[in-house]
Structure 1
Amino acid sequence: MTAKVECLQGDIANQPDIDAVVNAANALLRPGGGVAGALHRAAGPELDRACRTLAPIQPGEAVITEAFNLPNRHVIHCLGPVHGRDTPEAKLLADCYRNALELAERQGLASIAFPALSAGAFGYPLAEAARVALTTVQETLPRCPGIERVRFVLFDAGSAKLFQDTLDSLDQTL
């Protein structure tokens, strides 16, 4: 069975049909703005406490916690590269997606939802972030047979369309 990959506009903190959501984390796994802030607010203070024992993490690394008050079983925290600072950028960004998928597979999770890692405050150009993300997911899924669904949850309609168009163009080249 091939996993379903989907792209949609939505709230990463409200994905009740997904086993794990991915946090666009900072190195210390602390609450912040954007995705990290939204997930920490929705999960409650227990998420911050659980993260403290796992920090710090390096760019490309993924760690997992319970989801607490989120409607999911787990949160996978990934530290994406800061564009223009962390190199090699594309490899580190791909490592985030690969490591998150492999961690989900090891945990027996069937579905995972990603934001556009590094494309917010970390400054990664969205089109390039989409290409790296979707290519890496498609390359990694054959090694993760337990994963049935990968969802990209984008904050706005334009980002969701860009991710969907990128996915469609990759599907045509396979």
Structure 2
Amino acid sequence: MKLTLVQGDITQQRADAIVNAANSSLMGGGGVDGAIHRRGGPEILEECRKLRAGQYGKGLPTGRAVATTAGRLPARWVIHTVGPVHSRSEDRSALLASCYTESLRVADTLGAASVAFPAISTGIYGWPMDDAARIALEAVRQADTAVTEVRFVLFDAAAYATFEARL
């Protein structure tokens, strides 16, 4: 598997699938989630509503992943995953790793060869970037997947430098 890093906007990535650091409601929000919903258009929200009306009536559980259309984004699919909120008193690193492995599992079911990930849980959920980079890279490297390209799309220079040092 080819691992690459890009500094930029995940909503502009040409990949089979981009991963959304979603909240459990799947109804959009701030950060990456809000940007994907705004740029992708109402088609994404429409599919998320259907998921909420069906099997995810109580929301998408932390560490799980589900796919929708990418709407107007330059990708085929959006894979939504809910990252854990960072805690100093509880080790939630397995849940964060699961976001990556579950997203790759969903990508495999779709037949996606390329997947673009943000740095999940590092925004409002407060996960320290260095630890998040370690967990993300380990999870992706150890994943049993047919995906041939994983791209980490980091929003700013500091996040890019942190992932680069870990890569």
Relative distance call for 1:85 and 1:110 in structure 2 (3 A) is same
Query: What is the root-mean-square deviation in Å for CA atoms of aligned residues?
Result: 1.4
User: 1:144: which partner in 2?
Assistant: 145
Q: Report the CA distance between 1:164 and its aligned residue.
A: 1.2
Relative distance call for 1:86 and 1:152 in structure 2 (3 A) is farther
User: 1:172: which partner in 2?
Assistant: none
Q: Report the CA distance between 1:88 and its aligned residue.
A: 4.0
Tell me how far apart the structure 2 counterparts of residues 10 and 40 of structure 1 sit (CA, whole Å): 17
Tell me how far apart the structure 2 counterparts of residues 164 and 129 of structure 1 sit (CA, whole Å): 13
1:40 to 20, 33, 37: 37
Identity of aligned residues (%): 48
Normalised TM-score (structure 2):
0.93
Deviations 1:77-129 (A, max 9, x none): 00000112895410000000000011101211000000000000001111000
Give the total of aligned pairs: 161
Q: Is the 8 A contact 2:120 2:132 kept in 1?
A: yes
Write 1 or 2 for the structure with the bigger share of strand.
2
Tell me how far apart the structure 1 counterparts of residues 88 and 24 of structure 2 sit (CA, whole Å): 14
Tell me how far apart the structure 2 counterparts of residues 109 and 69 of structure 1 sit (CA, whole Å): 18
Tell me how far apart the structure 1 counterparts of residues 92 and 152 of structure 2 sit (CA, whole Å): 20
User: 1:12: which partner in 2?
Assistant: 10
The yes-or-no answer on 1:105 pairing with 2:108 is yes
Tell me how far apart the structure 2 counterparts of residues 29 and 113 of structure 1 sit (CA, whole Å): 19
Tell me how far apart the structure 1 counterparts of residues 36 and 81 of structure 2 sit (CA, whole Å): 13
Tell me how far apart the structure 1 counterparts of residues 96 and 126 of structure 2 sit (CA, whole Å): 12
User: 2:99: which partner in 1?
Assistant: 96
Tell me how far apart the structure 2 counterparts of residues 42 and 131 of structure 1 sit (CA, whole Å): 29
- Following TM superposition, where does structure 1 have runs of at least 4 consecutive aligned residues deviating by more than 2 angstroms? 85-88
User: Which residue identity lines up with residue 149 of structure 1 in the other structure?
Assistant: E
**SS where residue 10 of structure 2 aligns?**
coil
Normalised TM-score (structure 1):
0.89
Tell me how far apart the structure 1 counterparts of residues 127 and 106 of structure 2 sit (CA, whole Å): 24
Q: Is the 8 A contact 2:104 2:145 kept in 1?
A: yes
User: 1:30: which partner in 2?
Assistant: 27
Q: Report the CA distance between 1:53 and its aligned residue.
A: 2.3
Q: Report the CA distance between 1:76 and its aligned residue.
A: 0.1
Gapped runs of 5+ residues in structure 1?
Answer: 168-174
Gapped runs of 5+ residues in structure 2?
Answer: 53-58
Q: Is the 8 A contact 1:81 1:87 kept in 2?
A: no
**SS where residue 124 of structure 1 aligns?**
coil
Tell me how far apart the structure 1 counterparts of residues 138 and 105 of structure 2 sit (CA, whole Å): 15
